[in-house]
Amino acid sequence: MIRSLKGTYDILPDESWRWQTLEAQLHDFMSIYGYKEIRTPAFEKTELFSRGVGEETDIVSKEMYTWLDGGKTNLTLKPELTAPVVRSYIQHNLGALSPVTKLYYMDALFRRERPQKGRQRQFHQFGVEALGTPFPEADAEVIAIAYEFMISLGITNLKLKLNSIGSGQCRTAYKDALKEYLSPHIQELSETSRLRFETNPLRILDTKIEHEIELLGKAPDILGFLTADDETHFSEVRELLDGMKIPYVLDKRMVRGLDYYTRTTFEITSSALGSQDALCGGGRYDKLVETLGGKSTPAVGFAAGVERLLIALDEIGKTEEPSKTDIYFVGLGDQARKAGIKLVHDLRKQGYKSNYDLVRRSMKAQMRESNKSGARIVLILGDQELENNQIQIKDLENSQQMTINLDELKNHLYKLEL
């Protein structure tokens, strides 16, 4: 038997309705905020991610599904969506249409990570990107979308962590200061942190190792390195969030795993998840459009893991799948069955969610199926009723059953307001 690959999952029929519900909620929510959907291809040139996300990041250095296509070009299954969205924004000159371009997406992504609860190799994200404005109101809007969408889904125990990693100038100075602080302790660091010391020192702040966390407690603070402009920007973001009554905690050690961030960064975690507790992450990326060959365009966005949202929703109690059937037809005898097929065909054309037995089972089995289907109405037709141009109609809501003239069925159903 051929099985699905490690870290990939089928979304089976008893699960897919939850995805559909979430997707519908997302589309509604985004239209309230004035964002439009963008869809980009599943694979891109590898260079887009190595330049966009950063050579030294875990995503690019370890986790990408990359292959040499036709012996010529390196291609990669997209591991994230910000770089592809920016590529598309530049390629189609979307910025020419209005000063701010507000986009959202929901898509499948691929990272070769060690699978565990809330971490897959193929996973889904939804997210937003607002391109074209350097102002803190865009940061606040994007954070508000992330937070309020989760609240609207009913997810509780949310923690919004906020930080600013400043502009490039501030980060270079901070990296030097951090390295200076850590260098006498280099032998105490784990292998990963030692490697990061050389390649990407900021990521050391992301360590989960107890004694490293302790050591970093006394490390210089990135907020102390912000320029005056960075500081003003950050305090305005906070003021706007306070005004919107969106609670947050400052987390000066929060660094994100992608290199394109500038100034604001944020994550929302939920205690409903295990060790992979980040529901979403994002921030400002004022240099990415330029890095990828476009005009200098400040931007901000975030992305949330859909599987993780569904796990968090599970924790607050599984909701029942809404019934997908209005009417179930039960036929007894050959002629009645054939007449039923025509009848159901007509009902379907009128928009009633109708079903009948496709395997010619006994009346008893059909009745059992009608109960299982969750239908409100069961129509029962035998050859005798057919001859009299009649049909039995049973309302499962109040168990009332009556025989009516077939010509009256339409009117009758109309009155039931199915």
Give yes or no for residue 262 binding ligand HAM (CB under 6 A).
no
- By beta carbon distance, the residue nearest ligand HAM is 305
Ramachandran bin of 242, using left for φ above 0, alpha for ψ from -120 to 50, beta for the remaining angles: alpha
Distance CA 143, CA 206 (A): 21
Whichever of 189 and 303 has its CB closer to ligand HAM, that residue is: 303
Q: Which helix (H) or strand (E) holds 44?
A: strand 43-45
Give yes or no for residue 119 binding ligand HAM (CB under 6 A).
yes
Q: CA-CA distances (angstroms) from residue 374 to 347, 364, 418?
A: 17, 16, 13
Whichever of 7 and 374 has its CB closer to ligand HAM, that residue is: 7
Which one of residues 279, 339, 347, 380 is an interface residue with ligand HAM (CB under 6 A)? 279
3-class DSSP state for residue 340? helix
- Tokens 């496709």 locate to 358
Q: CA-CA distances (angstroms) from residue 143 to 239, 248, 259?
A: 13, 10, 19
The alpha helices in 283-408, defined as continuous H runs, are 288-291, 306-315, 334-349, 363-372, 383-387
The alpha helices in 41-135, defined as continuous H runs, are 46-52, 58, 82-91
Give yes or no for residue 111 binding ligand HAM (CB under 6 A).
yes
Q: Which of residues 241-260 bind ligand HAM (CB under 6 A)?
A: 257-258
Smallest gap from Cβ 258 to ligand HAM, in A, equals: 6
Give yes or no for residue 165 binding ligand HAM (CB under 6 A).
no
Give yes or no for residue 11 binding ligand HAM (CB under 6 A).
no
Segment interacting with ligand HAM, rule: CB under 6 A, options 23-31, 86-94, 125-133, 370-378? 125-133
Give yes or no for residue 263 binding ligand HAM (CB under 6 A).
no
Segment interacting with ligand HAM, rule: CB under 6 A, options 88-96, 115-123, 159-167, 326-334? 115-123
Give yes or no for residue 167 binding ligand HAM (CB under 6 A).
no
Whichever of 111 and 287 has its CB closer to ligand HAM, that residue is: 111
| Residues within the interface to ligand HAM (CB under 6 A) | 80-82, 111, 113, 118-120, 123, 125, 127, 129, 257-258, 278-283, 285, 301-305, 307-308
